[in-house]
Amino acid sequence: MTDTSARRMPTIVAVLMGALLGGVLVLIGAWWTLGGLPAAGAAGAGAGQGGPPAGMFPAAPPVDAIAAVETIAAERVQLLGTARPRRDSSVASEVDGLAAELFVDEGDAVREGQVLARLRTTTVEQRLAAAAASRDETQARLARATADFERLASLRDRQVISAREYDQALADRDALSQAVVRLDAEVSQLQDQFDRASIKAPFAGRVAAVHVEVGEWVGRGDQLLSLLDLSVVEVAVQIAERYISAVPVGFQVDVTFDALPGRPYTGRVQAVIPEAVPEARTFPVLIRIPNRDLAIKGGMAARVSAQLGSPQAAVLVSKDVVVRRGDQVLVFRVDPSAMGGDPGAPLGEGSVGSVTQVSVEAGPARGEWQVVYGPVSPGDLLIVRGNERVFPGQPVTVANLRTPAVPEADPDRPIAVDPRESAQ
């Protein structure tokens, strides 16, 4: 054997062993896909048929399950609206002047009272300084005149001076006193004009637009900036008159936004306008939604969902069975028929079943329960613990069957959370 052949032998052996190992893994994967190990009662038979050693893979991992239940809920109504800021201000100038400084730009966050821009105030400052100096001088003259008057008043009592001298001292004191009042008003007016040359934010928010540049002349009432408060957004919807009595102030509704898939929000009715739109016989309703992370922007399309209409049957599931994956809402049901058993046989603790993935639409919540719409029936066993790790068709064992308290059906009120119960 040549040296070259000797060097190639380990490489060939390694390739053959890798191929052999890959084939074994493929066979194990196929065996697992076709059902894995048999149930406990058939473990001996499986071992005798040459399958993998017993206990090498779990045949049906344990899960906790809970049954879906039926209740009576009001009809669900979906409404469309548009998000808008709670406050939208056009910040204007109260005085005439030249824009000297701009301290913010579009998109900046500002605090209430923060200075946004400043107009040139050189002339006002000069007039203010002159008025303040004149006032101080007049106050000094008034103090001297007051002292002279008091001295003359004591001499008049002793009839040392004439009445004319006394009257003149009194008139001088009163004239200077009125001059101080007038100059105080002038100083206050100029100080107010100086202060208003600094344009401040009326509330905390974000700058949406800047309409002026440094060096541009600004007239009284001209718009300088647009300021938005998006910490809370409002959505206005139109509700038909047959539903309006079921929408009190404080009523809670579910809100989603087309631009924010998979992010449900909760809003509350802020106001119900008591006058209908004549053409449509609908009432405008204003809904407020907290927007702490500022993800909701002004102008976004909103979809409002509420239980408002006539009572009808609805399926409730535990909130813990719901799995959200992107914009999908899923539950995982334990199905006995897929395991070859009796489709009508009830499942209980210790039963083995097969996982079925079910796509549903989430409705309003009530306590630990939630309304779902889709192919889920009362009595279906849904996986409540372990549902993050299962996949369709996988065998599972119902290790624990939970039975929490179910809210009582009430045909006279919506299944959506009562505002009095969720005020905290």
**pTM value > 0.75:** no
Residues 397, 9: Cα–Cα separation, whole Å: 50
pLDDT score at 382: 93
Q: Which residues contact 236 (CB under 8 A, 6 or more apart)?
A: 81, 82, 84, 284, 285, 286, 287
- Of 383, 379, 366, the residue nearest 417 (C-alpha): 366
Q: Which two tokens stand for residue 248?
A: 């009190």
pLDDT score at 345: 64
Using an 8 Å Cβ cutoff, are 74 and 307 in contact?
A: yes
Q: What are phi and psi of 342, to 5 degrees?
A: -75, 120
Residues 161, 153: Cα–Cα separation, whole Å: 9
**Helix, strand, or coil (residue 156):** helix
pLDDT score at 55: 43
Residues 422, 416: Cα–Cα separation, whole Å: 11
Q: Which residues contact 220 (CB under 8 A, 6 or more apart)?
A: 93, 94, 95, 96
**C-alpha of 63 from chain center:** 34
Residues 304, 235: Cα–Cα separation, whole Å: 9
Residues 186, 188: Cα–Cα separation, whole Å: 5
pLDDT score at 32: 44
Find the helix or strand (DSSP H, E) in which 400 lies. Answer: strand 395-402
Using an 8 Å Cβ cutoff, are 296 and 255 in contact?
A: no
Angle, in degrees to the nearest 10, between helices 163-196 and 122-157? 160
Tens digits of per-residue pLDDT, 59-109? 788 999 999 988 776 667 788 999 999 998 889 888 888 888 899 898 899
- Of 385, 324, 395, 323, the residue nearest 356 (C-alpha): 395
pLDDT score at 45: 34
- Tens digits of pLDDT across the chain (424 residues): 444 444 545 555 454 565 565 554 545 444 444 444 443 333 333 333 333 344 443 578 899 999 998 877 666 778 899 999 999 888 988 888 888 889 989 889 999 999 999 888 777 878 888 888 988 888 898 888 888 888 888 777 677 777 788 888 888 888 888 988 998 898 888 888 888 888 899 999 999 999 888 988 988 888 899 999 999 999 999 988 888 888 889 888 889 999 998 888 999 999 999 888 888 888 999 999 999 889 999 999 999 988 776 677 788 898 889 998 887 889 999 988 655 555 566 777 878 888 999 999 887 677 788 888 889 988 889 999 888 888 898 898 888 888 766 666 544 444 333 332 333 3
Amino acid (1-letter code) at residue 177? S
pLDDT score at 153: 80
pLDDT score at 23: 54
Tell me 266's DSSP state: E
**C-alpha of 162 from chain center:** 83
pLDDT score at 387: 83
pLDDT score at 234: 94
Q: What is the dihedral of CA 247, 250, 253, 255, to 10 degrees?
A: 120
How far, in Å, are 299, 324, 360, 374 from residue 317 at the CA level? 34, 14, 11, 12
Place of tokens 């909760």: 266
